[in-house]
Structure 1
């Protein structure tokens, strides 16, 4: 026998979200496709009005017979048909999204792929995005050694109520002597708050504490400079100790940063950790800009500033704290192992925490844009050529049909090249 616990409704499963992404992708088109959709009906209307006018006026203007005028009008009608133009973007966008889906990159629409190709700046969250998100406790210090065991009991009880990667690391590092049941409040950006024996305890990042003993401040500076993430624990607003945790960079982070920098795209690390911790990780990965001590609400404002400064901006994140910034960015990219909220609000999702897939997505997006414009220019040149030779009487309907439909096949086959790795 087995016991099964249902944790999500059917509409919230990964499979349901994939179907939702597919549906959104079908209705969300690139800028070029949207332009064609708006232009095409007007173009068709113009052709359907212009051809009859041409047939009627040509015998008067060029001394043609009515048969000759009607025939050339039909030749031009075939030549001016926008079949290739209609297919110019569809095959490319569907091929691109299909190829990326096979590689574990899902998009809510080809418009976001098109925008990804044109980004001028990209911002990354640190924990779980540029780092593995599986930190380990490296140091711990408590002022009152006699009270250390009770503090550890409180820490374990509080962190048991959190799903943050730092909480997991602390639960692996510390063992409670006495199991406590506490009501814990998670203030996003500040940390955890609980009450035990009428005493108020808080675990959070150093910048949110005011009264800090000199010994604690010294150890914070030392450990943060080594690249550790440091948290304080306080009792009734008096800091009692600190814990340092180290999260090593994602094995693909350096390659991803180097790739975007080689493309002239500005890279930024946005983290809630201290300035020293952010600088240590940022320098290791050679990131252009490091913004540390950031509250969750500030991430969205930072993305807004970067959009003003650079233009199109992408944001890569994995947590609840990143959701506002992912929405604010022109292209929000979620790590697949991140929270449901981050995946829900993002425009692209990397189903595995592999930043090499982000590089591949950008490369395919660039190819998709290039192929779309190749198709658009080629299809319009074919129309201009066929209309010109039709007016000069250098072609007939059969040749016009062969060239015209042949150009449509060329456009489709050109787009299908994106199915190749």
Structure 2
């Protein structure tokens, strides 16, 4: 641990912040729609509407595979993206095409030759393949053809265009082969390709739906109806859409709270796990706030509604989750570019393959097979899924653990953080005074001393008095009563103890007796009463002073009989958080407006690497710049209000303990709970997510590097050739592997 010696900071350092902010994207594309070929008009203001388990993207054009939309200039488009519908569509088309494909395969001359059987013939049986193959091409292939057309219209060629080209080449060649007699038709390969593509997309949509289930899970938390209390005290069942601010609702045990509000009557424990990540039920009593969507456990509550609809905490969280899932990280941008490059590479390889095979063996079925196989196997499906699936799962996990991501790039950058700066008060510490040490003179024990001090401070509203009373309550002490209480302005208190001698703490020769006057106060009181401390108490006071702690004494009969040291209590969670960050190789710094002694003591106790003491709120951002000037990637952890400039200046701004306030504009990530361990959870989730992205990208890219040459037929001289069907299987398998690997992120342990 060392105190940082600040250096002069040039004004030009402001450019650092400007650079960081301008790099963050405003274009948001739904990753799941990108997977299934749906395209989104870019919008900076996505809107989430909660019609219970239904998401919508305002300002987006939804190109559904089952229907097309014409462009209408001057009109806004609103569409509903439901991946469950996409999944069901691909599933239905898969089974229909599978049934239709079986006769095509059965009557294929090539398969009859391979497997040595003769198909049953009947008049017109020779048309089974062409007729059913055409039906499969139209019914099963039309989703891919339409989505390929969307890619052409948007000038973003990709996987759907490659699939469209592959099945179109196969179909056109097969029709030409029959019509012009130029060779064997390709229908059995065509239907096999389409069936495999439909199966692969069905599996993908299933994975995508599960991965992006955070919005569904959050939407399901809100009940459909509520019990509103009428003016005569009766209850009526109403839709939650009909609730208004100031309505009184009854929340029965086991029911979900229908809207944000304040408890007016009743006590209960409420499960807030899905909103805040807090696993333990939270006790609620009159005056406490409750969040819509949380679950009431064991008691009935009457809640006065304070927010409904889009104004509720749950709606705000859902907006953040949707924005995070739609925002594009640098890794996603790279993957999208790679997918675009792969399209052109596939077209080039297909063209070279066609020319080479035509020169080698002449134009015919082998040439078409090679071209179709290249187009099929080069489809960047796995590359397109590699990052979006991880992003969707990452965002779901973050929301379920009380981490609300406002900026996807910041979430990705968290893995590279060198230094995390914590604001001390209220973040690493409780933000209020607490008893941290006690000493007594001979004849007294700690509980006896604390009970008398709590009694004397019983009528005081000072924060020191509250801290002493809270410590006595936590120890379960019996507090004697007092009379003749008097507050001594700026010095302490005086009171007369009213207890039986036999029950008196320290009763006996040295104890406080019934009717005896005691004083409680600090150094000013000692000077006022001209009381000298004994050596033991003097040493205690000196040690406390070195740690930046305040000392309060109990005085009787003109002498000090004991003392307590008070300080801003360090959270138990802070020790675990800093230890976890150190284990991950992240340095920890602390900002505080407290004195050098206080900052040094807290820093030593928590094993903090660097601290900044006596920092004014308006100067906190300058300390962030000083660390950034050392080439460090810096995160700032604060309350999102007083720390707004520092949060904005940092590379990753983390607002902690913001509770249900999701509108912390200065923060990139909002931590709902005031638990510093969540900062370590954030870094760990960022690192594990990025590792999954890397694994998926390596697999997706490596698969194409390996498979494309095989598809082109470079190993044909030694008898190794991939058929289009095998190519489709490999392509689909690579996609499924990427999807499964992304799902494994759910098993990641984020605990510290």
TM-score normalised by L of structure 2: 0.41
CA contact (8 A) 1:131 1:249 kept: yes
- Counterpart pick for 1:104 among 383, 402, 405: 402
- Per the alignment, residue 657 of structure 2 pairs with 336
Closer, same or farther in 2 for the Cα pair 1:35/1:169, shift >3 Å?
Answer: farther
Tell me, in whole angstroms, the C-alpha distance in 1 between the residues paired with 2:305 and 2:665: 20
The corresponding residue for 2:612 is 291
1:76 aligned onto 2:344: no
Deviations 1:121-146 (A, max 9, x none): 111110111012233599xxxxxxxx
Runs (5+) with no aligned partner, structure 2? 1-232, 234-247, 249-263, 265-302, 437-460, 469-484, 488-540, 552-564
Residues 268 and 136 (structure 1), Cα distance of their counterparts in 2 relative to 1, 3 Å cut = same
Answer yes or no: is the 8 Å Cα contact 2:346–2:375 preserved in 1: yes
What is residue 277 of structure 1 aligned with on the other side? 598
Aligned to 2:418: 120
2:574 and 2:676 in contact (8 A); partners too: yes
Distance in 2 between the 1:55 and 1:114 partners?
40
State the match for 1:29 in structure 2: 328
Paired residue secondary structure (1:252): helix
Return closer, same or farther for 1:332/1:273 CA change in 2, 3 Å cut-off.
Answer: same
Equivalent-residue separation in structure 2 for 1:321 and 1:338 (angstroms): 16
Aligned mates of 1:273, 1:251 — CA distance in 2: 20
Alpha carbons 2:640, 2:647 under 8 Å: kept: no
Aligned residues of 1:136 and 1:169 also touching (Cα < 8 A):
no
Q: What is the RMSD computed on CA atoms of the aligned residues?
A: 3.4
Q: Which has the higher contact order (CA 8 A, sep 6+)?
A: 1
The equivalent of 1:38 in structure 2 is 337
CA, structure 1 residues 250+173, in 2 after alignment: closer, same or farther (shift >3 Å)? closer
Distance 1:345 1:323 in 2: 6
Conserved? CA contact 1:122–1:314, under 8 Å? yes
Contact 2:342 2:378 in 1 (8 A): no
- Shift of residue 80, structure 1, vs aligned partner: 1.0
Cα distance per residue 1:275-325 (max 9 Å; x no partner): 111111111000000111111222112112222314321111115221111
Instruction: State the match for 1:89 in structure 2.
Output: 387
Alignment equivalent of 2:638, drawn from 314, 317, 321: 317
Decide whether the 8 Å contact of 2:417 with 2:586 is kept in 1. yes
Query: How far apart are the structure 1 equivalents of 2:691 and 2:430?
Result: 34
Matched ranges for 1:236-275 at <5 A? 246-275=567-596
689, 695, 707: which is aligned to 1:368? 689
Q: 1:293, 1:347 → 2: CA distance?
A: 26
Q: Distance in 2 between matches of 1:370 and 1:95?
A: 13
Shift of 1:12: 5.8
- How far apart in 1 are the matches of 2:545 and 2:611? 15
Shift of 1:29: 2.6
Which whole-Å CA distance do the structure 2 matches of 1:250 and 1:57 have between them?
72
Q: 1:384 aligns with which of 694, 705, 714?
A: 705
> CA shift at 1:40, angstroms?
2.3
Counterparts in 2 of 1:194-273, with a 5 A limit?
A: 225-228=546-549, 246-273=567-594
Task: Judge which range, 264-273 or 96-105, deviates more.
Answer: 96-105
Instruction: Give the structure 1 partner of residue 744 of structure 2.
Output: 417
Partner of 1:58: 356
| Pair 1:133 & 2:444 matched | no
**1:115 offset after TM fit, Å?**
1.1
CA distance in 1 between counterparts of 2:745 and 2:578 reads: 24
2:590 is paired with a residue whose SS is: strand
Bigger mean CA deviation after superposition, 373-382 or 101-110:
101-110
Q: State the aligned residue count.
A: 339
Give 1 or 2: higher helix fraction: 1
Q: How far apart are 1:262 and its partner, in Å?
A: 2.1
Deviation of 1:9 after TM superposition, in Å, equals: 8.7
Task: State how 1:125-204 maps to structure 2 within 5 Å.
Answer: 125-136=423-434, 169=463
Which residue of the partner structure matches residue 346 of structure 2? 47
Secondary structure of 1:247's partner? strand
Structure 1, residues 242-293: CA drift from partner, whole Å, max 9, x if none?
A: xx96211111111111121222212101111111111111110000001111
| 3-12 or 13-22, larger mean C-alpha shift | 3-12
State the Cα deviation string for residues 217-258 of structure 1 (Å, max 9, x = none): xxx99866333489xxxxxxxxxxxxx962111111111111
Unaligned runs of 5+ in 1: 139-155, 157-167, 178-219, 231-243
1:109-168 per-position Cα deviation (integer Å, ceiling 9, x unaligned): 443322111111111110111012233599xxxxxxxxxxxxxxxxx9xxxxxxxxxxx9
Tell me, in whole angstroms, the C-alpha distance in 1 between the residues paired with 2:579 and 2:319. Answer: 33
